[in-house]
Amino acid sequence: MKKLLLLILFICTNSFGQTATIKLKNQIFSENETKNSLKFNFNGQAFGEKDTIIQIKINTSGFDSCKVIYKNYGFDFITKFKENETYEIKQGCCCADFTLEAEKNAERGTVTFKNKTKRDLCLIAGYESDTVATGKKKVIFAGESAMCYFKPCDIHITETEYFSEKYDYNKDTDYKTLSKEQDTFILASTWFHFLHGEKIEVFYNPVLKKMDLKLKGYLSKKEYSKIMESFN
């Protein structure tokens, strides 16, 4: 009997240690939006706006796979949930349909890229970007709009032509045409959602034009404070 109780306790503890809690705040959309139109799928578990509190299994050996569907539009992103943590999904603003934020110690993180190709490239992470010379490495903070700070972050590796003055939009330019042309200089892209100050490293394969991400740890409180001070 004692062994059975210990086994049950181990199974329950282990199961709880591999889950996270998702809270969907009320009124994700305004009254003029179609109810239950925002749907999610985290690690194969589907839920929607009608749900309030969800327990999801997390990937303890790698990134968590997430899918979002809004009406006829959808996209995938990866993230790294922590065991036993609680996350809140809230209504976004003009630049995001939703935000996903850790209830405690929510922080955005950094992206590191070492350019192993024979030409200069550019790294983009959210609102931040930098040129990475051949053979060099850059680390940038994945900044974002203060109104939608915890929306998924788009990470791009691009040709340097992506930042040509030709694509500086103004009232006299055709935004859609220029944007379509500018996007031809994107070599590889992915979406990562920062939750806890993750340090992400990007590995780019120029043959396949594909990037892979690796979690290299988390920003310390001192590192995060130093980054925030640099923006003030």
pLDDT at 68 over 80: yes
- pLDDT of residue 77 exceeding 60: yes
Q: Classify residue 44 as left (phi > 0), alpha (psi -120 to 50) or beta.
A: left
CB atoms within 10 A of CB 165: 5
68, 4 contact by CB (below 8 A): no
Q: Each residue of 5-55: pLDDT tens digit?
A: 444 444 444 433 499 999 997 655 544 454 557 899 999 999 987 888 999
pLDDT of residue 26: 60
pLDDT value, residue 169 = 79
So what's the pLDDT on residue 232? 65
Sheet holding 86-91, edge to edge: 53-57, 19-24, 86-91, 98-102
Q: Which among 76, 73, 110 has a CA at the least distance from the CA of 196? A: 110
**Among the ranges given (6-10, 161-165, 187-191, 195-199), the one the predictor scored with the smallest mean pLDDT:** 6-10
Q: What values do phi and psi take at 105, rounded to 5?
A: 55, 45
Task: Write the pLDDT tens digit of every residue in 78-118.
Answer: 999 999 999 999 887 777 888 999 999 999 999 999 999 99
